Structure 1
Amino acid sequence: MSEITVSIDGGESAQFTAGSTVRDAITTLLSNKQRKQTVAAKINDEIVDFTTVLTVDTSLVPVQTGSIEGLDILRHSTSHVMAHAVRDLFGADLQVAIGPAIENGFYYDFKRSDPFTPEDFEKIEARMEEIIRAALPFTKSGMSSADAVEYFKKTGEPFKVELIEDLGVENVSFYKVGEFTDLCRGPHLPDTSFVKAFKLLRVAGAYWRGDEKRDVLQRIYGTAFYDKKELKKHLNDLEEAKKRDHRKLGKELHLFTLSDEIGPGLILWQPKGSQLRRLIEDFWKDEHYRHDYELLYTPHIARQDLWKTSGHLDFYKESMFSPMEIDGVKYQLKPMNCPFHIGVYNSERRSYRDFPIRWCELGTVYRYERAGALHGLMRVRGFTQDDAHIFCRPDQLEDEIFNILDLNLHVLKTFGFSEYDIYLSTRPEKAVGTDEIWEKATSALKFGLEKKGLKYEIDPGEGVFYGPKIDIKIKDQLGRSWQCSTIQVDFNLPERFKMEYVGADNAMHQPIMIHRALMGSLERFIGVLIEQYAGAFPVWFAPTQARIMNITDAQIDYCEEVYRKLRQAGVRIEKDLRNEKLNYKIREAQHDKIPYMLIIGDNEKEDGTVTVRLRNGDNLPPMKIEEFTRKIEEEVVEGRGY
């Protein structure tokens, strides 16, 4: 047999017989320590497992346990171990569906008549431990699709049959671990002993292939790490996330309500939540005014023909609500604000001297989300976008991108977000506009990012069909990422709506349009803020900044006087004058995350002061009402950044 040369990332190499495996190369070329940390390899950027056969000269890049790819392989493999255990324990009453790795873990879907219970989880985990200790190898094999369909029909696995038939390929691959065989592309771990730390987390309902008309499956979620300390930290983070859950805190702090009577995915803002929202909106409007934007208001519905012109009915119909008929004409709820801003633009003749035009709107839009995808404030059917559209000349594009980034990062920082991941998405296969204008727009986005000194990743081919974009994913206190900010350059709508301006040459030109959102949606952003601060908001945007509480009824009149003065001074103040023990009132105020408690007894009444207690339990010296007012004002100015 012929010999081939295999190297590690173009470096150390050795001769092997053609037909040797990745395992053979890894065993020969890596040290013992390196081998223990290697779970797969990359060949020409494709990840393959140890069983892959090598027939030509090859350069391998080890995939190690500390990498993102290594974690994905671990979690995908652990899902197979879990499915093996579940099949062993409940095989007579079970069909298996799919089991991928996901962010921070994995899941596997099963069809079973009885629900899984906490006691079942204990049994499944115990069986998984046995499989892991056995160090069972993951072995790959192939089969024609026709034979695979027959195999799964015989074994009573209709979900696998459907998957194969939909793939439309000649051959499919399988992975076998112990007695469990699954349809899978892989790659997988060398054997089950690489699974060092795992935990099953919860079970939830899931529709087969996300279709509400299909089978309801049971989805078991779990997570896995190569290190038990990392697993422990992750489980602690999950417990902390439960405490910070915006749905739980939103109810406890009386911020918002979800009502099936009103409709799923539609938010009812309670007075405190409305106050929180107003403070955020006022800050947003003030910042945009300072950055030379003008405010617009637009309708909630429009003629259906508008959405035909914009292309939304072609590209976005499934996310739009059904049309309604008014005076014999079809109208639809708006999923976007863009066409309305274009309508304002086209309402009069524009000159090159008018640019840049910066318009912003807190515009409420409506998009259909499946019931199973709805999630508190994070996924809703009616939400308010902090939207803006900038119209500019080509020579202004780079400066406008830079200005948007500057405002964007300032707003995020003001709300406490200083860590984020940035992605630059480039031209997809299907796109409008010439190569030249795509290159100019992409270069402008790059220029803005690099001028700000921002690190970013290229997300190839993930731009929208009408132009490239920047996405900013903020990170919260627990390191979780949230998609909020986006900046998109658009060549499509200006052409569709025949937007023009008179250039310096007196000829007509098409402007460049930039779509931009800083928070994404107010609903989601407020949900993230609730979890970021665990409901204990900074003073500058806390719905209630202080609560007055008396010790006895003898101080009620003075409490009312303090309340009126602080309210007139603009302090967001509440009063608790109930005939309850002071410690009880303090505990309630701390539970409600009130920044300051103003305690008034006989001494405070006599001296014309208030005793100030912080929500963390610390006390400040007594102070005059005017002094406390200045303190609040200073904190607001510091928090807002001016």
Structure 2
Amino acid sequence: MSEKLTKEEKIFRKRHSTAHIMAEAVLQIFPDAKIAIGPAIDDGFYYDFDLPRKLKEEDLEDIENRMRDIINKGASFDKEVISREVALERFADQPYKVELINDLPEDAEISLYHSGDFVDLCKGPHVENSSQIDPRAIKLMSIAGAYWRGDSTRPMLQRIYGTVWNNAKELRFYLNKLEELKKRDHRKLGKELDLFHMVDENPGQIFWHDKGWSIYLTIQNYVRNRLSEQNYIEVHTPSVMPKSLWERSGHWAKYKENMFITESEKREFALKPMNCPGHVEIFKQGIKSYRDLPLRMAEFGSCTRNEASGALHGIMRVRGFVQDDAHIFCTEEQIADEVVLFVDLLKSMYKDFGFGDDNIIVKFSTRPEKRIGEDATWDRSEGALANACKVAGLEYEIAEGEGAFYGPKLEFTLVDALGRHWQCGTIQVDYLLPSNDRLNASYIGEDDNKHSPVMLHRAVLGSLERFIGILIEQYAGAFPVWLNPTQVMVIPVAQNFNEYAQKVTAQLKAAGIRVKLDDSDNRMNAKIRAAQNEKIPYMFILGEREESENQVSVRLRTGEQHQGMPLEESVNWVLGKINTKELI
């Protein structure tokens, strides 16, 4: 009786098996090749090789064809368990396999998988037979360099990436999706739309241009206004703080490798990777009463984290960033109400950016292995967060061991237009950082005694930089009108209408609309093309009739047109689109 597998398990086995088939094909072409590792990964697989020459793109087609021949022969995948001595003998001419075998624990099971003429050191699992793989559903994607075991002091190998799907239709869908991703790549669009740039000599840091900074400030001001509605106070804390503070908070022991360390006057300091210890320091100033709680403290805090250079990715993963960060100091009894209030705010804000409830996945992240505090405290904090989710009517998935080192958390993941997942919002329940054992924050309770507050760490967007990157790719650079750097381009059809165009521009600007005037001597169609290339939502086209009747003709970047709209009405129409956060 065949094993019952999930859809994910089935495709994983196909990808793992196809990696073996690719290795067999490579060995047919390069019999002296040394093989390393070949796992399944998201959307595909790869295998690392030590080859006698550098591969070329045209080699991929040859390898693909040989893979199809191997698949069509229908070889079975058979497992064999062997001793360490036999394994070392079998792979005596494969130094990378020998190293892997020697590094296995003494009591580890050592298994091989045979398929056709190929045998590999592998724990599986695999498909039963290569005939279960559709030869039309495979494609080799790229060649890259990869240091053996990720160590730059070890040999540089050649890595071949590939993908495999259940059938040719799924493969075509995936390849079309990749093409769409290339068009939407925030790094490409950031350059084309003149939003920002980054330089290799200053990795992970962003130079915002005026258009990109306009989007940044629009989002920041939007968040600020939404927080003021819920009575948050806004603060600002230093970017550099002493080692002693980070030691008390626990970051020095649990997070130091991600911190930039500096020294002054024989004392160590760190650039802050997060804002929470600074907010506790502000809370501690003056005597707080239970009547002051909940105290919601927000900061657009500039943070710096020593991310590995290989992990950096455009503005999505950087070293310098700002969070829409806030901390809520409350009593244990107030946790549920504060979580409910936060979830409502988060969903409302996501909706304004074009993400509805169907675009949100919630995960409950429990205690990690690397943590501070006693299990009893973690039981208490996880129980409080679970109860808050129940009160909020929030459905979630469990993410075992993914919590922060000081407390459990809810993570809110957005699903974008291409089905990709982006973890953005979070709320974390923390009994530990403000406690007497750590940062020693307190308030006077109804019983006139001192108590440690509970600290809720929360963010809706997360890193503003990363969220803007998500928006660029979500909208392919065609931002909703309320976010777009330029909301209206005024286009006179000829030079003699420039004076009227200046009047229209002034009226739009006076209404608070971000507007530009193209009074160049270019032809009208060239001006429209330029505005469309900038992905400007609305173009006001002005000619003789528009001037004589104090009107505008509105052209949307979608091509839709509204002829002969009175000027005042057109201004109010744009304001309505902005105020209601419409997508176009």
TM superposition score normalised by structure 1: 0.86
1:390 aligns with 2:328: yes
Task: Tell me how far apart the structure 2 counterparts of residues 130 and 515 of structure 1 sit (CA, whole Å).
Answer: 56
Code of the aligned partner of 1:448: A
Code of the aligned partner of 2:262: M
Change (3 A) 1:222 1:455: farther
Change (3 A) 1:593 1:294: same
Change (3 A) 1:228 1:568: same
Identify which range, 196-205 or 106-115, moves more after superposition. Answer: 106-115
CA offsets 1:204-235 (integer angstroms, 9 cap, x no match): 33333334444333332222111322222111
Gaps of 5+ in 2: none
Match of 2:257 among 318, 330, 335: 318
Task: Tell me how far apart the structure 2 counterparts of residues 395 and 247 of structure 1 sit (CA, whole Å).
Answer: 46
Name 2:342's counterpart in structure 1.
404
Name 2:383's counterpart in structure 1.
443
Change (3 A) 1:466 1:144: farther
Structure 2 SS opposite 1:411:
helix
Shift of 1:147: 4.5
Code of the aligned partner of 1:344: I
CA offsets 1:340-391 (integer angstroms, 9 cap, x no match): 1111112222222211111111111111222222111111111111211111
Match of 2:275 among 337, 355, 361: 337
Structure 2 SS opposite 1:541:
coil
1:290 aligns with 2:229: yes
Task: Tell me how far apart the structure 2 counterparts of residues 299 and 417 of structure 1 sit (CA, whole Å).
Answer: 34
Shift of 1:287: 0.7
Code of the aligned partner of 1:179: D
Structure 2 SS opposite 1:187:
coil
Structure 2 SS opposite 1:163:
helix
Shift of 1:455: 2.8
Match of 2:547 among 581, 591, 605: 605
Change (3 A) 1:547 1:436: same
Identify which range, 128-137 or 365-374, moves more after superposition. Answer: 365-374
1:616 aligns with 2:558: yes
Match of 2:140 among 197, 200, 203: 200
The answer to whether the 8 A contact 1:432-1:491 is kept is no
The answer to whether the 8 A contact 2:482-2:581 is kept is yes
Code of the aligned partner of 1:494: P
Shift of 1:187: 0.9
Task: Tell me how far apart the structure 1 counterparts of residues 466 and 118 of structure 2 sit (CA, whole Å).
Answer: 41
Name 2:100's counterpart in structure 1.
163
The answer to whether the 8 A contact 1:201-1:222 is kept is yes
Task: Tell me how far apart the structure 2 counterparts of residues 73 and 566 of structure 1 sit (CA, whole Å).
Answer: 59
Match of 1:246 among 158, 165, 186: 186
Change (3 A) 1:539 1:318: same
Task: Tell me how far apart the structure 1 counterparts of residues 367 and 501 of structure 2 sit (CA, whole Å).
Answer: 63
Change (3 A) 1:516 1:147: farther
Identify which range, 369-378 or 245-254, moves more after superposition. Answer: 369-378
Name 1:184's counterpart in structure 2.
122
Task: Tell me how far apart the structure 2 counterparts of residues 545 and 506 of structure 1 sit (CA, whole Å).
Answer: 56
Change (3 A) 1:290 1:609: same
Task: Tell me how far apart the structure 2 counterparts of residues 224 and 604 of structure 1 sit (CA, whole Å).
Answer: 57
Task: Tell me how far apart the structure 1 counterparts of residues 403 and 72 of structure 2 sit (CA, whole Å).
Answer: 46
Task: Tell me how far apart the structure 2 counterparts of residues 121 and 305 of structure 1 sit (CA, whole Å).
Answer: 55
Code of the aligned partner of 1:547: M
Name 1:358's counterpart in structure 2.
296
Identify which range, 326-335 or 477-486, moves more after superposition. Answer: 326-335
Aligned ranges for residues 125-524 of structure 1 at < 5 Å? 125-145=64-84, 147-149=86-88, 151-152=90-91, 154-158=92-96, 160-171=97-108, 172-196=110-134, 197-261=137-201, 263-321=202-260, 323-418=261-356, 419-429=359-369, 431-495=371-435, 496-524=438-466
Aligned ranges for residues 81-96 of structure 1 at < 5 Å? 81-92=21-32, 94-96=33-35
The answer to whether the 8 A contact 1:424-1:469 is kept is yes
Percent identity between matched residues is 46
Task: Tell me how far apart the structure 1 counterparts of residues 151 and 347 of structure 2 sit (CA, whole Å).
Answer: 38
CA offsets 1:68-88 (integer angstroms, 9 cap, x no match): 122212212222212221222
Shift of 1:453: 3.6
Change (3 A) 1:199 1:449: farther
Task: Tell me how far apart the structure 1 counterparts of residues 310 and 54 of structure 2 sit (CA, whole Å).
Answer: 18
The answer to whether the 8 A contact 1:426-1:442 is kept is yes
Shift of 1:436: 4.4
The answer to whether the 8 A contact 2:35-2:94 is kept is no
Task: Tell me how far apart the structure 1 counterparts of residues 120 and 176 of structure 2 sit (CA, whole Å).
Answer: 33
Task: Tell me how far apart the structure 1 counterparts of residues 228 and 245 of structure 2 sit (CA, whole Å).
Answer: 29
Structure 1 SS opposite 2:580:
helix
Structure 2 SS opposite 1:217:
strand
CA offsets 1:409-444 (integer angstroms, 9 cap, x no match): 221221112212221122344544444443332233
1:75 aligns with 2:15: yes
Structure 2 SS opposite 1:63:
coil
Task: Tell me how far apart the structure 1 counterparts of residues 279 and 199 of structure 2 sit (CA, whole Å).
Answer: 32
Shift of 1:312: 1.8
Task: Tell me how far apart the structure 1 counterparts of residues 84 and 328 of structure 2 sit (CA, whole Å).
Answer: 52
Identify which range, 426-435 or 555-564, moves more after superposition. Answer: 426-435
The answer to whether the 8 A contact 1:79-1:107 is kept is yes
Change (3 A) 1:88 1:449: farther
Change (3 A) 1:520 1:219: farther
Name 1:555's counterpart in structure 2.
497
Task: Tell me how far apart the structure 1 counterparts of residues 247 and 102 of structure 2 sit (CA, whole Å).
Answer: 35
Structure 2 SS opposite 1:489:
strand
Name 2:59's counterpart in structure 1.
120
Name 2:485's counterpart in structure 1.
543
Change (3 A) 1:394 1:86: same
The answer to whether the 8 A contact 1:386-1:518 is kept is yes
Structure 1 SS opposite 2:541:
strand
Shift of 1:600: 1.4
1:625 aligns with 2:567: yes
